[in-house]
Structures are given as C-alpha cells and as structure tokens.
Chains A and B, each alone.
Chain A
Amino acid sequence: MSQGVVDMNGRRERPADADASVPEVLDQVRDSALRLIAELPRPPYALRVRAGDVSVEVEWNLGTSAPAVTDTLPAVPATVDPLTVPEDRHCVGAPTVGLFYRAPEPGAPPFVTVGDLVRPEQQVGIVEAMKLMIPVVAERGGRVLEIVKDDGAPVEYGEGLIVIAPDDDG
C-alpha cells in the first residue's frame, strides 16, 4: 500500500505526523485557515476547519446581502466629444483629468455663461487635478452656446466642456 495520497495539484501528501503536539497542530490549522481566507474571493460567513480525517467547509451568506436588482439605469452624464462636433461649432476640451470649475473660486460669478462672447485665449474655466488649478482656455473666439459640464463635475482629459459658435474663419 502506498504511504501517501496524491492531491489534485499533483503533490504527494505526507502522512500526518503522529508525534505533532496539540499546539503545533493548532498552529498549522490556524495558518491554513488564514491562508484560505486570504485566498477566497469574498470574506466568508463561516469557516470550519478540522484536522483529523481532514475537512474544510466554507459558507457564504447569499440571502440577505444579495444586491437588489434595479430596473432603472443610472443617468448617463452628458458627454460631448470635441472630435465629433459639427464644423460650425468649436468645443473647448478639458486640459487635464480632474474637477471642472466654472468660476475662479467658490461663490464667485462664473467665467462665462451661455450667450457670452469670448475672445481667443480667454479663460473660460478651471480644471483641478491634485490641487493644481489648470486654466481652461478657449482656443477660438465666439459666442458661448452650451456649458456641457456642471460646476464640480469630474472630467477626463479632452472631454468637452463648453461649446462655442466660432466667429473666426477657423
């Protein structure tokens, strides 16, 4: 008869050391339990580990913690891709990833509102990234048609912020 058993990972299991003391066995069981918990995808509700005749049982509580199924999708925020605006429109894109601010500081009037005329190089907003305040500058002049993003909205680099009807020749 063979001395040991080959487990599903192809490793030969050593027969249990009959001379191991109880504290040593407890340590081994505890270490195995901790390793197992660390490897599980989600923390279990209950874990039972037995050493004699080997046994591991893990339970997850699925009942009350299952997420409720919602039947409405979250609102998709307005996004304008500056690459796809029509030719008679110019879209000012975010100069960096961060938070878009419409005013120079909280409580102050916004840089621009719909209907305003802006000059080329005029500052029309701020994007904050890591406490750096990066100015948003209109590359072309014209009339402000739409403020796409709300004050304080998170934006990606290049995301459309303000749509202008340019008054130059492009």
Chain B
Amino acid sequence: MFKKVLIANRGEIALRVARACRELGIKVVAVHSTADRDSAVVSYADEAVQIGPGPAKRSYLHIPAIVEAALRTGAEAVHPGYGFLSEDPDFAEVCAANGLVFVGPPAEVIATLGDKTTARSLMDSADVPMLAGSMAALPTVAEAQAVADRIGYPVIIKAAAGGGGRGMRMVTDAGDFGRAYRETRASAQALFGDARVYVERYLAPARHIEIQVLADQLGNVIQLGARDCSVQRRHQKLIEETPAPHLPAEVLDEMGRAAVRGARAAGYVGAGTFEFLVDETHDFSFMEVNCRIQVEHPVTEMVTGVDLVQEQFRIAAGHPLSLKQADVLPRGVAVECRVNAEDPERGFVPTPGRLTEFVAPSGPFVRVDTHGFPGYRVPPDYDPLLAKVVVWAPTRHEALDRMDRALAEFRVSGDGVRTTTDFLRAVVRHPLFRSGQHSTSLVEQLTREHGNQFRRAA
C-alpha cells in the first residue's frame, strides 16, 4: 500500500479521500489555493502545500504546480477526486511520466472514454445498447441535419469533448437545427477547446440511472448496483438514491452486465460509473462513462458496506478487489441530498461568505460528507457544494422520512449565506418524488408549481 498520497482536489471530497488514507495508514499531502488555506483538509492532512491563487486555472488545474508538490513531498500516488483534473488524460500521463501513480484509469482509457464519440463506438462494439444517433463527430451542418432528420426529432446536439450535462442543445424543430448546430459548436470550442459535435435522439421524460463499477489490474470487474440520479436542475444532480426505485430486477441485472462488458471492452481500471437513460418502457441506452469517483458514491457505500475510495487505492496499488461479484449484496435504501451554498429564492445564485453557524445533522444512519465548519469562509471561486447529507433505512419511505428529519436539523447561517436545504425538503416531500415515478423533469415542474418560494416548514 502507498506510504504517502497527494490529494489533488479540495472541499468535501478532499477530506473524504484523506479519511480513507488515514484508515489505510497512508500519509496525506493536501494541496490548496490561497482561498483554501484555512480549509478542513488542510488541517486534517499530514502535510499541506499552497500551490496557487484562488482561480482554479492557476491552482487545482495547474498541472506543473501539483506534480511539483507531489515530487517535492515524496508522494507516491495522486488521487484526483472528481472534477478538476480527474478526467484529464494529460494529467494522468504527466503523473506516470514522473513516476507518480495516478489513482484512476490509464491515460489512454480516459482519453478514449472522454471523447464521447469514441466512447459510443467502443460501447457499441461491446453490445451496450445506445440511443440512435451518430457514432462519429459531424463536421458539417448538412451531415448533422441528415442524421437528425433520419433519427427523428427531438434530437440533442452534444459536444464530443463534453459531458456532465454541459455543452448540449436540444432541437425539436428541423428549422432550428442549423442555428443550434452552430451555437453548440461555438460553445464546445469555448468550453472544451474542441468544436466537434454529434447528434443523438432526445429522450424525455427519462430516468438517469448509473451503474457503479470496480475493476482491478488483475482483470476482475464487478458492478455494485445502480443509482438513480433523476432529480436534477439544469443537468446538475441534486438528489441521488440507490437502488433505482421501481426498476425490475431483470432490467437492473441487464444494465449491470452491460456496464461490466463495457468496462472490460474499454480496459477500465479503477472506480467508474456507466450512465444510462431509461425510458418509460424500461429500455436503457448508454450515455457516458465517468472515469472517476463520483460525488454520489456514498449511497452505494451505504447499501453495500464497501469503501469505494479504499478500493481505488487497493486497485492503484496493484491489489485485487476486496470482494467478488457474489459478495455484493446491497441492503436497504440510501439517499443523498447535495446541499449547496445557493439561494433558491433568487434563481439559485451562489452565496459565498463566512459561516457563523454550521451544525450538520447526525443520529442513526446519517452520514454527512462536508468541509464546512463554524467560521469557515465559503470561497466564491469554486462550485457551491457545501455538504452531502446521506441517509440509510431499510425501505425508501423510511429513508425519505429520515432525510426530511436530517435536513430539518441542518443549521447553516452566515452573512449573506443561503443553502438549498428547504428546497431539498420540498422535493423529498413531493408526492411525485415519493412515488418514485419522477423523471429528470421533476425539478423544473416543482419550480413552476411553487415559483421560487421555499419557506421553512413549521
């Protein structure tokens, strides 16, 4: 096992990875920007190195600074967390070139799966079902429109170098296609430095279901069940749960097997997630592979008893997985709510600032992954995720009641600081969500029904 690891991330995930290191007897090096010099992981770590100013481009995304810090402190491996450089094949390559173990898949695998067009054709060759659409990028509006006309509207135009809901446009009318195509190419160039786009059938309403996969360097690949991430706002997940409610076991098994096939076909190593869209008839289609630990990994941990981050370290160190497929026996229901420092009453505008009060929920079967603490200053430079509240219960109904109880206990205040706890409680209590019949259009629907008013319940 590694003796020292550098965590190339920040916030709640850096602290969560640091805790796994502590349990494995691995020394922790935390890198941080000036904006994060008082952050929780900096006090928790064994060593800390300030690598740059607030803006991520010059700190958490600045490869030379991170690799320099790793070499200087004698770290053997680098854990990239999620976001930032976690799916950057160049970073994986630079680590390898400098004798550092990158905790994740090999650079070539990240590159192949990060390009959504090569990922699609790879998965297609592994017999993973997918939506009608192009397998390759479409360089001219004429070719792109021909594909759209063939598969039928509505379609969605997506950036090949994109992902995570960014850089996509939906087109319902053939007449709008040309403009949408040009706009998507332009924003893809601006966002990802790569203007290539492809076209897919647009599916709505749909459920976003993802399969957690673990693959070691000895050829063992297992799947740890499905997460339903359908509660989203502008393609950003808000609530995730496992198991996926009301999906028949055969469909889940099929999806699990497809994910394992896809992982093998890709030569995947590490913890990964295969995302699918599931329609009303329970047909599922491949969306993308996420080559990193995900924000919502705790719900899988709660029902399986597996520490996914520890497994990542075991895999990276060349050990076999600590369990076989037959040992994966999920039990009960786990739900996670992402609490952001945002104001739902003002269009979810981020609200950075100093926290004067921060009391996280606790009690039976409640887990809170957070970097927050009283006196912590939420910086404006990064995404507004402040805490993940995760609960477990034997049934979904009990889990949602428990989540409501936990969110009600969560006390956060600060000058100008707001959080989304009341909004999340409104979703957790919503009859459509409670019935498990919701789709990705739930939040939009809720916002329409209630306007932007989410008052604290009496």
Contacts and interface: CB of A to CB of B under 8 A. Distances in A.
- B interface bracket (residues with beta carbon within 8 Å of A): 20 to 34
Contact of A97 (B25, B51, B320): B51
A42 interface: yes
Interface-central residue, B52, B68, B69, B72, by most chain A CB under 10 Å: B68
Contact of B52 (A35, A96, A154): A96
A66 B311 CA distance: 30
A38 interface: yes
B65 interface: yes
A130 interface: yes
Interface string A121-153: 000000001101000000000000000000000
B67 interface: yes
B64 interface: yes
Nearest to B66: A97
A41 B310 CA distance: 13
Contact of B72 (A41, A154, A159): A154
Nearest to A43: B1
Given A96-B64, A130-B64, A156 B49 contact: yes
A88 to B, nearest CB: 24
Given A154-B72, A157-B51, A97 B34 contact: no
A104 interface: no
B232 to A, nearest CB: 36
B397 interface: no
Contacts of B314: 38
Contacts of B62: 96
A154 B71 CA distance: 11
Contacts of B322: 35, 39
Contacts of A98: 65, 68, 72
Interface string B12-52: 00000000000011000000001000000000000001111
A129 B64 contact: yes
A97 B60 CA distance: 12
Contacts of A156: 49-51
Given A42-B25, A97-B49, A158 B68 contact: no
Contact of B34 (A41, A42, A96, A157): A157
B455 to A, nearest CB: 42
Given A96-B64, A129-B65, A132-B64, A157 B52 contact: yes
A158 B319 contact: no
B436 interface: no
B374 interface: no
Given A41-B25, A42-B25, A159 B67 contact: no
Given A35-B320, A38-B319, A97-B72, A158 B50 contact: yes
Contacts of B52: 96-97, 157
B164 interface: no
B53 interface: yes
Contacts of A42: 25
A41 B49 CA distance: 26
Nearest to A131: B64
A101 to B, nearest CB: 14
A43 B455 CA distance: 57
A157 B65 CA distance: 9
A86 B24 CA distance: 44
A97 B50 contact: yes
Contacts of B320: 35
Contacts of B67: 130
B216 to A, nearest CB: 12
Contact of B50 (A39, A41, A132, A159): A159
B319 A96 contact: no
Contacts of A129: 64-65, 68
Interface in B159-207: none
Contacts of A41: 24-25
B53 A97 contact: no
Contacts of A158: 34, 50, 53
24 contacts: A35-B322, A38-B1, A38-B314, A38-B319, A41-B25, A96-B51, A96-B64, A96-B65, A97-B50, A98-B68, A129-B64, A129-B65, A129-B68, A130-B63, A130-B64, A130-B67, A154-B72, A156-B49, A156-B50, A157-B51, A157-B59, A157-B65, A158-B34, A158-B50
Given A39-B322, A157-B53, A158-B50, 18 more contacts: A38-B314, A42-B25, A96-B52, A96-B64, A96-B68, A97-B50, A97-B65, A97-B68, A98-B65, A129-B64, A129-B65, A129-B68, A130-B63, A130-B64, A156-B51, A157-B52, A157-B65, A158-B53
Interface of A: 35, 38-39, 41-42, 96-98, 129-130, 132, 154, 156-159
Interface of B: 1, 24-25, 34, 49-53, 59, 62-65, 67-69, 72, 314, 319-320, 322
Among all A-B residue pairs, the 3 with the closest Cβ atoms: A130-B64, A156-B50, A129-B68
